[in-house]
Amino acid sequence: MCYPARSQASPPESVHVIRDAESGLEGVIVLHSTKLGPAAGGCRLWRYGDESAATRDALRLAQGMAYKNALAGLPLGGGKAVLRLPEGSFDRAKLFTAFGRKVAALKGAYVTAEDVGTTVADMQVVNEATHHVAGLPQKPGLPGGDPSPWTALGVFLSMREAARRKFGSDLSGLTVAVQGLGNVGARLCHLLHEAGARLVVAEPRSDVAAAVACRYGAEIASVAGIAQARCEIFAPCALGGVLNADSVANLQARIVCGGANNVLATEEDGDRLADRSVLYAPDYVVNAGGIINVAAEYLGWTTTEVELRVRQTDLRLAAVFDHCESTGLPPHRAADLLALKRIAAGAASSALSNAA
Ligand code: NAD
């Protein structure tokens, strides 16, 4: 079937090119949507060939954040900052001070945090220029800190829901292939083991793979072979873009559900999964535990509120699967549509309350 490309579905609200000659800051802040609240999304510092490559990445990531935040039920829009890593040595504190001023100039329309290439220490520097930043050192008893345990819990609950839909069973006795044993993957293995699942794992750090194999009786697969491992469920917890035409054709799993962002190389790969009757649990629906924790830090919520919201991840996934059943859409497209609807509904209700 032919569907519209996702990128045509919703253009960004605004794109802010940011530059500061003194510190070497060069990048872009994209506010994809502020209809549900401030556009929240991390700040990536990465090497890009040119400005348009950085902008393309920021546009894609900002849209992903808008959809993720909307479907997680957060009072936040979506945005992203992408900074080009300067050539040679540079003064990091100066760069992030300049970035903080650019965030401050947006007067709360954008909320930043860490992402690939940036750290808690960078965000502390940003915090000297603006309050619109999360991912700061955790205060005792409050949300914040490492979000991975929340992400892993949301993925686990989602996997249980997907297994119920696909096999009419719980996870006990099913084999799950976990790709990547970092913060999310290792924690997920623990939860799966407790639930009685069998594990096949792959991880380039062989000592880490061996430790997980020993602790949970997991079988170790090669890094190259994990996506084709014999299993019922494939859980990508390392890289984006792992599902492409080739890997989808060779997948043994009947469910894909993992923590990694941007698992589908293209929209069409999601369609290919559906054509093969593989149930795909959309990445940004199931891995929202981390952003819920970050949002709670920024919005001043309690840890109890974080847990409550993360424990509803399976209900949000169930709503996506229900939408698939009623529309005939594959899950990645159904999720996008629901996110767009939620953003539009949020915009309509705030227009009504402004008019009242
Ligand atoms: P991490 O860096 O701690 O773990 C990634 C692991 O994958 C590492 O152990 C790495 O060695 C391994 N790896 C790298 N290449 C691999 C390969 N080819 N095959 C198998 N393993 C490989 O990262 P993380 O925090 O666990 O996050 C994992 C994924 O989940 C990332 O895509 C991240 O963007 C996404 N994510 C994480 C969170 C979070 O809360 N940490 C939230 C949302 C999404």
Right CATH for 14-63+78-129 from 3.40.50.970, 3.30.420.10, 3.40.50.10860, 3.60.130.10:
3.40.50.10860
Q: How many CB atoms lie within 10 A of CB 312?
A: 17
Is residue 238 in contact with ligand 1, taking CB distance under 6 Å? yes
Q: Residue 161 has what pLDDT?
A: 98
Q: Residue 34 has what pLDDT?
A: 97
pTM of the model: 0.92
Q: Which residue has the tokens 């903080």?
A: 100
Q: CA separation (Å) from 146 to 136, 138, 251, 303?
A: 10, 9, 32, 13
Q: Tokens for 6?
A: 């996702």
Nearest CA residue ID for atom 35, ligand 1 = 260
Is residue 154 in contact with ligand 1, taking CB distance under 6 Å? no
Say whether domain 147-286+326-333 belongs to CATH 1.25.40.10: no
Q: Tokens for 305?
A: 């509120």
| SS3 of 97-144 | HHHHHHHHHCCCCEEECECCCCCHHHHHHHHCCCCCECCCCCCCCCCC
Q: Residue 7 has what pLDDT?
A: 42
Contact 202, 182 (CB under 8 A): no
Q: Residue 8 has what pLDDT?
A: 46
Q: Residue 83 has what pLDDT?
A: 97
Contact 5, 316 (CB under 8 A): no
Is residue 112 in contact with ligand 1, taking CB distance under 6 Å? no
Q: CA separation (Å) from 96 to 44, 60, 115, 134, 224?
A: 12, 23, 13, 14, 38
C-alpha of residue 120 to centroid of ligand 1, in Å: 18
Contact 292, 306 (CB under 8 A): yes
Residue 354 is labelled as binding a ligand: no
Walk along the chain (356 residues) and give the pLDDT tens digit of each residue: 545 555 445 789 999 999 999 999 999 999 999 999 999 999 999 999 999 999 999 999 999 999 999 999 999 999 999 999 999 999 999 999 999 999 999 999 999 999 989 999 999 999 999 999 999 998 888 998 889 999 999 999 999 999 999 999 999 999 999 999 999 999 999 999 999 999 999 999 999 999 999 999 999 999 999 999 999 999 999 988 999 999 999 999 999 999 999 899 999 999 999 999 999 999 999 999 999 999 999 999 999 999 999 999 999 999 999 999 999 999 999 999 999 999 998 766 666 666 65
From 65, 148, 228, 263, mutation site for ligand 1 pocket: most ligand atoms within 8 A of C-beta: 148
* Separation of alpha carbons 260 and 242, rounded Å: 9
Residue 346 is labelled as binding a ligand: no
Is residue 261 in contact with ligand 1, taking CB distance under 6 Å? yes
Position in ligand 1 atom list of the atom nearest CA 240: 32
Provide the residue type at 142 as one letter: L
Position in ligand 1 atom list of the atom nearest CA 150: 40
Residue spans of the domains in the chain: they are 14-63+78-129, 147-286+326-333
Q: What is the CA radius of gyration of the chain?
A: 20
Q: Residue 203 has what pLDDT?
A: 97
Nearest CA residue ID for atom 14, ligand 1 = 238
DSSP 70-101: HHTT-S-EEEEEEEEPPSS---HHHHHHHHHH
* Separation of alpha carbons 327 and 138, rounded Å: 43
Contact 293, 313 (CB under 8 A): no
Q: Which residue has the tokens 């629901």?
A: 338
Residue 180 is labelled as binding a ligand: yes
Q: Which residue has the tokens 């750090």?
A: 205
Half-sphere exposure of 348 (CA within 13 A, CB side): 6
Is residue 282 in contact with ligand 1, taking CB distance under 6 Å? no
